[in-house]
């Protein structure tokens, strides 16, 4: 088995995970920003040969590292690059939010992402997904080193599909040059409620689901061409609900058959055309679908596994919307919430802020795997999907030559 893996920001010889390494010392170098996009594209030349090697890699990962791959943490400011996050809790992915990068210039953002990848290399040997929200318009976390990015409402109203694709590609190359490899965009919520928080912030391509599908596909194609992982959000859809999920839990009374004529249309098109590799959940009540008035879609087996995976045949990675949002109950312990979510079919749990909550959630999942509430088979399903995603975008590769 080829036991060497590396991240595109690392050494030519590759990096060996601590649990696979031999006595050879690793070389660490931070590549110049201007060369990053090129090197990440070239990484595809040395990708692992197939899923078999990824399965072997996953099989040799310590349990703590596996569980860490299921978490994305962020908005922690100075604590984001804490050694403990990677040495003890082994968090496998990072989100850069307002509190992390709002006041940083391009050089400091690049320095931060390089430091984060170095920490992950040192302790886990698996590169991070480093994500942000760069939707356009009001939702642009990165302020320096990138071109102004219009809102999706503006794009849907005034862009051609070609212009949308080229705009997304340009944004992708600029984010990758900063060390950001994942963008939680595009929003594919269909704007059917003018009072929704999606409409109020210009975050939807429009009210026609077919138009939303076309523009979402254009953005995802542009992102991929620029080496960036795009993410369709928020499944099954916030476009019809008025309450802001950042503040409270919204609900829709729509049945599945009604959703299939509107909210689910873009997702069906993207999945069928294999345009989407990452989908974000919605903290949304769907009682007409789940027959449960207390279970948000994010932690619902009926929505995540039953609908998205089994019925709609989605095989990619599912990431949650932030668990720190007001829509998620504070009455349910973080560990229990995380366990329910993993068992629903979700792969990556996004926890922004509150380090103690992140750690309780991680500990809850770890203990659940140990005592069988989460099967090892279920854990390995998510780990393998995450590794495949990292491999596909040139983050995980064998040694050159």
- Torsion angle of C-alpha atoms 183, 284, 312, 301, degrees rounded to 10: 110
Give Cα separations from 9 to 32, 45, 85, 129, 241 (angstroms): 9, 15, 20, 13, 42
Can you state the angle between helices 265-272 and 209-225, rounded to 10 degrees?
40
- Under 8 Å CB-to-CB from 190, ≥6 apart: which residues? 204, 206, 207, 208, 209, 212, 237, 239, 240, 262, 263, 265, 266
234 is catalytic: no
The secondary element (H helix, E strand) that includes residue 161 is helix 161-177
Adjacency order of strands within the sheet including 229-230: 229-230, 182-183, 129-132, 93-95, 71-74, 349-352
Q: Which tokens go with 249?
A: 């839990």
* Alpha carbon of residue 397 to chain centroid: 20
283 is catalytic: no
Q: Which of the residues 246, 277, 347, 363 is marked catalytic?
A: 246
Place of tokens 């995970």: 17
Can you state the angle between helices 334-344 and 376-392, rounded to 10 degrees?
70
Which of 213, 142, 146 minimizes the C-alpha distance to 184?
A: 142
Give Cα separations from 85 to 50, 143, 367 (angstroms): 30, 26, 18
Q: Which of the residues 321, 322, 347, 371 is marked catalytic?
A: 321
Is 302 buried (19+), middle (13-18) or exposed (0-12) by CB count in 10 A?
buried
Which residues carry out catalysis?
Answer: 246, 321
């Amino acid at each position: 088995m080829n036991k060497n893996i590396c991240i595109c920001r690392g050494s030519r010889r590759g990096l060996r995970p601590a649990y696979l390494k031999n006595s050879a010392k690793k070389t660490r170098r931070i590549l110049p920003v201007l060369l990053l996009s090129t090197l990440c594209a070239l990484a595809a030349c040395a990708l692992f040969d197939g899923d078999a090697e990824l399965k072997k890699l996953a099989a040799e990962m310590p349990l703590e590292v596996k569980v860490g791959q299921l978490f994305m943490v962020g908005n922690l400011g100075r604590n984001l690059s804490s050694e403990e996050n990677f040495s003890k809790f082994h968090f496998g992915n990072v989100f850069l939010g307002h509190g992390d990068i709002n006041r940083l210039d391009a050089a400091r953002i690049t320095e931060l992402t390089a430091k984060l990848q170095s920490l992950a290399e040192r302790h886990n040997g698996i590169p991070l997904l480093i994500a942000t929200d760069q939707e356009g318009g009001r939702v642009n976390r990165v302020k320096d080193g990138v071109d102004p990015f219009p809102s999706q409402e503006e794009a849907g109203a005034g862009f051609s599909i070609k212009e949308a694709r080229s705009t997304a590609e340009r944004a992708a190359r600029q984010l990758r040059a900063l060390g950001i490899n994942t963008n939680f965009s595009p929003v594919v919520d269909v704007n059917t409620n003018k009072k929704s928080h999606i409409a109020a912030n210009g975050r939807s391509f429009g009210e026609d689901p077919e138009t939303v599908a076309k523009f979402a596909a254009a953005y995802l194609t542009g992102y991929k061409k620029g080496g960036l992982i795009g993410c369709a959000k928020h499944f099954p859809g916030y476009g019809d609900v008025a309450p802001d999920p950042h503040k409270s839990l919204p609900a829709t009374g729509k049945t599945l058959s009604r959703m299939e004529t509107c909210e689910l249309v873009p997702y069906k098109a993207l999945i069928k055309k294999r345009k989407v590799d990452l989908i974000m959940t919605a903290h949304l009540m769907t009682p007409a679908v789940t027959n449960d008035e207390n279970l948000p879609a994010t932690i619902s087996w009926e929505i995540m596994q039953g609908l998205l995976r089994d019925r709609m045949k989605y095989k990619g990675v599912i990431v949650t919307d932030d668990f720190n949002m007001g829509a998620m109950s504070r009455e349910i312990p973080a560990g229990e919430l995380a366990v329910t979510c993993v068992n629903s079919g979700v792969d990556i749990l996004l926890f922004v802020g509150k380090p103690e909550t992140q750690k309780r959630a991680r500990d809850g999942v770890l203990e659940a795997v140990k005592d069988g509430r989460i099967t090892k088979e279920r854990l390995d399903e998510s780990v393998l999907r995450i590794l495949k995603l990292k491999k596909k975008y040139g983050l995980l590769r064998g040694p050159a030559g």
